Structure 1
Amino acid sequence: MGREGSSVSGMSESVLKKILLSYLYVSIWIFLSFSVIVYNKYILDPKMYNWPFPISLTMIHMAFCSSLAVLLVRVLRVVELPSSPAMTRELYVSSIVPIGALYAFSLWFSNSAYIYLSVSFIQMLKALMPVAVYSISILFNKESFRSSTMTNMLSISFGVAIAAYGEARFNGLGVLLQLGAVAFEATRLVLIQVLLSSKGITLNPITTLYYVAPCCLAFLILPWAIVELPTLRNTSSFHFDFPIFGTNSFCAFALNLAVFLLVGKTSALTMNVAGVVKDWLLIAFSWSVIRDTVTAVNLFGYGIAFLGVAYYNHIKLQALKAKEAQKKAVPNDEESHNLIEERDNEKMSRKNESQV
């Protein structure tokens, strides 16, 4: 009785520890994501720090992340690069380069949107991410078309459309930039499954930045030289603010690590659910602290989209549970089959012995 009680309490302690760690990972990710979004808005917004150069800011982030990743991998050797399969030049060009290009454009467009749109409205537009991921997954044959799922996607889109209709500071260019960022990011997420996961390539946070960040930086050089470099040359008053850009870049680096930590230790679904909580916190912060206008129509539309996203996450959770149950059932079925086979063999041997 005592042993049973101790095993149950031990089990309870391990479960409790796992739950507390999950909440810790979620809290860290929400805090860092929240910080990076608000920090980027502060730097880029004309009414705040007033440094409207989103490509330059993204390049600073990628240069910082690349340098730290190279330091950790090549110099300090804290992390080892994957050896099976080895990252050959052909594999890098066919897999990493497309993902790096999409990541570059996603960050560029999303950072550009902060110049034109409020933080709250940007978060409302980001609710379209499941719609974009599902649609692009169908195009790449990673998902099958289901009318029920598509109806749910349309409800999310309808809610975001209502939120856009009620936006007090609606800006067409800002909306196009944010929608473009969503499309690029959704395509990147699908291609990670198509180009990396399907080939058995698994990368940790540091090795991902080691491979992707320099590629992302390279793709930003041309648009930066055309769009922002001429203006920066004419801005003689600009000086590189190390405390601002240094801490901002460190937050971006930490966020990249937190994303993979959260997904690796919990699941991508947990991150999606945590993202909904983060969005509501950002909307509340945008309204109460930054003093952005959030209308009743905004909230009503986003409420519809939120319900659609919540239902989508619920369906995903049920599918994951069914998959896990199926995995657990397979060994049991094999064990039963082996027992039946052993019993039949035993009967056969007894029969042969009696005949002898």
Structure 2
Amino acid sequence: MSSRSSTTLDEKELAIVTKPESEGTQSSLPTPVSAVQPKPKAKASAATIIPIWIALSSAVIIYNNYIYNTLQFKYPVFLVTWHLTFAAIGTRVLQRTTNLLDGVKDVHMSKEMFLKSILPIGLLFSGSLILSNTAYLYLSVSYIQMLKAFTPVAILLIQWTFRLQEPNKKLAVIVFMISSGVALASQGELRFNLIGFLTQAAAVAFEASRLVMIQVLLHNLKMDPLVSLHYYAPVCAAINLLILPFTEGLAPFYALPKIGAAIMFSNASVAFLLNVAAVFLVGAGSGLVLTLAGVFKDILLITGSVLLFGSSITPLQVFGYSLALIGLVFFKTSGGK
């Protein structure tokens, strides 16, 4: 979790990836817990589910930031592990009580598939979640959202490097536009922190590598966000539990009484509900509509960060991020080709 600040990790990628089959499969950007996404059985109208998804997506990021920086619970590895454990239990409860995870029956999980696909992707997912959550200890919500705009560029660069897609002039222009926008946003950041920047940059690299690996290894599997989470959550939780003693130790357990069970439970619940909303979202609208919804959500998040946490944004950042967002829309309308 998520996310990009919890186990949902990054909502912008969800908006970019969801496109009709006719647009091709190159440069697809699944959600942080998704491979190829078929339309779910249960459906909701775009007018209903998109506002819910925006609200939940924003709530996860703001809630996590509140826990880290306002409540001073600075233990991202523990929080991510808790989110993943909650999600592992939650998906299994839903599997037994609803039809939202009927897709599990269509996935024939062999030992070989687990070791060669699920485990390495889970390692990248775990690294992405831990690093992206750690970045909130050093950077503002608004600046992190701006840096995440570089994810599609990172994916394209990996694809070009490994010859999974051939470079072309149109994509090169889009890469330059997004990169320039993110660079300007970084230049305008008043409270720039090098450790936070490198941490978020590493999170983007892990996430981009994970999404490319999903394309390569799981391109024939049809797993919606909840089915994917059903498999990845326990794997990532186990990985994080192995890391926890060497990173944060027992300190988060001693700090738990100060946070309280209500906050921990509600925080994980909001993150899990975002994954449930994603199931309905993928069948609710076109890829471009979801891209624009993601852009609108980021604008709300940046505005909320300024109002709630006192983050400062400069005119140069506004211009740079606007340039990056325009590049993202061009990327979507080009079909990633």
Bin for the TM-score computed over the shorter chain: 0.7 to 0.9
| Corresponding position of 2:18 | none
User: Does the CA-based 8 Å contact 1:121-1:167 persist in structure 2?
Assistant: yes
My pick for the range that moved more, 176-185 or 252-261, is 252-261
Q: Which residue of 2 aligns with 1:10?
A: none
Q: How does 1:191-206 map onto structure 2 within 5 Å? A: 191-197=213-219, 200-206=220-226
Q: Secondary structure at the match of 1:169?
A: coil
**Identity of counterpart residues, as a percentage?**
37
Counterpart-to-counterpart distance in 1, 2:103 and 2:180 = 44
Going from structure 1 to structure 2, the CA distance change for 1:116 and 1:236 (only over 3 Å counts) comes to closer
2:316 is the counterpart of 1:305: no
- CA–CA distance in structure 1, aligned partners of residues 223 and 255 of structure 2: 42
What TM-score results when the alignment is normalised by the length of structure 1? Answer: 0.76
> 2:76: which partner in 1?
54
With over 3 angstroms needed to count, the CA separation of the structure-2 counterparts of 1:240 and 1:294, relative to structure 1, is closer
2:171 to 149, 162, 170: 149
CA distance in 1, matches of 2:168, 2:198: 28
Runs of at least 5 residues in structure 1 that lack an aligned partner in the other structure: 1-18, 320-356
Q: Does 1:34 align with 2:58?
A: yes
Aligned length: 294
Deviation at 1:20, TM superposition (A): 8.3
Q: CA deviation at 1:149?
A: 0.7
CA contact (8 A) 1:263 1:270 kept: no
Deviation at residue 288 of structure 1 after TM alignment: 2.3
* Equivalent position of 2:110 in the other structure: 88
Structure 2 residue identity aligned to 1:24: T
Tell me if structure 1 keeps the 8 A contact 2:117–2:218: yes
Residues 253-288 of structure 1: CA deviation (Å, up to 9, x unaligned): 111222333224435554333221111111111122
1:185 has 2:204 as partner = no
Measured against aligned partners, the alpha-carbon deviations of 1:17-57 in whole angstroms (never above 9, x if no partner) come to: xx981232221211111000000000011xx1110000000
CA distance 1:187–1:97, shift in 2 (3 Å): same
**Structure 2 stretches lacking a partner, 5+ long:** 1-42
- 2:307 aligns with one of 288, 306, 320: 288
Contact 2:53 2:277 in 1 (8 A): yes
2:300 and 2:312 map into 1 onto residues whose CA distance is 15
- What value does the CA root-mean-square deviation take over the aligned residues? 2.3
SS at 2:166 equivalent: coil
2:9 aligns to what?
A: none
Residues 167 and 294, structure 1, Cα contact 8 Å, conserved in 2: yes
Question: Which position in structure 2 is the counterpart of 1:15?
Answer: none
Deviation readout 1:136-183 (Å, 9 max, x if unpaired): 222344322112211221221111111111111110111111111111
Secondary structure of residue in 2 paired with 1:229: coil
- Asked if structure 2 preserves the Cα contact closer than 8 Å seen for 1:269 and 1:316, the reply is no
CA contact (8 A) 1:132 1:182 kept: yes
Query: What is residue 314 of structure 1 aligned with on the other side?
Result: 333
Residue 141 of structure 2 corresponds to residue 122 of structure 1: no
Tell me how far apart the structure 1 counterparts of residues 165 and 287 of structure 2 sit (CA, whole Å). Answer: 16
CA distance in 2: counterparts of 1:130 and 1:246, whole angstroms = 33
* Distance of 1:109 and 1:165 partners within structure 2: 22
Residue 238 of structure 1: how far off its partner (Å): 4.3
Distance (Å, rounded) in 2 between the aligned partners of 1:276 and 1:143: 26
Match of 1:289, SS state, is helix
Give the superposition deviation at 1:230. Answer: 4.7
Q: What CA deviation, in whole Å up to 9, does each residue of 1:63-120 have, x standing for no partner?
A: 00001112233x5474345455511111111111122111111111111111111111
Q: Which amino acid aligns with 2:299?
A: W
In the alignment, what sits opposite 2:234?
A: 214
The secondary structure found in structure 1 opposite 2:282 is helix
Larger Rg: 1
- Report if the CA contact (8 A) 1:65-1:213 is conserved: yes
The answer (yes or no) to whether the contact 2:59–2:270 under 8 Å persists in 1 is yes
Q: Which moved more, 1:20-29 or 1:300-309?
A: 20-29
Secondary structure of 1:316's counterpart equals: coil
- Could you tell me which residue of structure 2 aligns to residue 352 of structure 1? none
Structure 1 residues 128-137 or 105-114, which shifts more?
A: 128-137
Alignment of 1:128-139 (within 5 A): 128-139=150-161
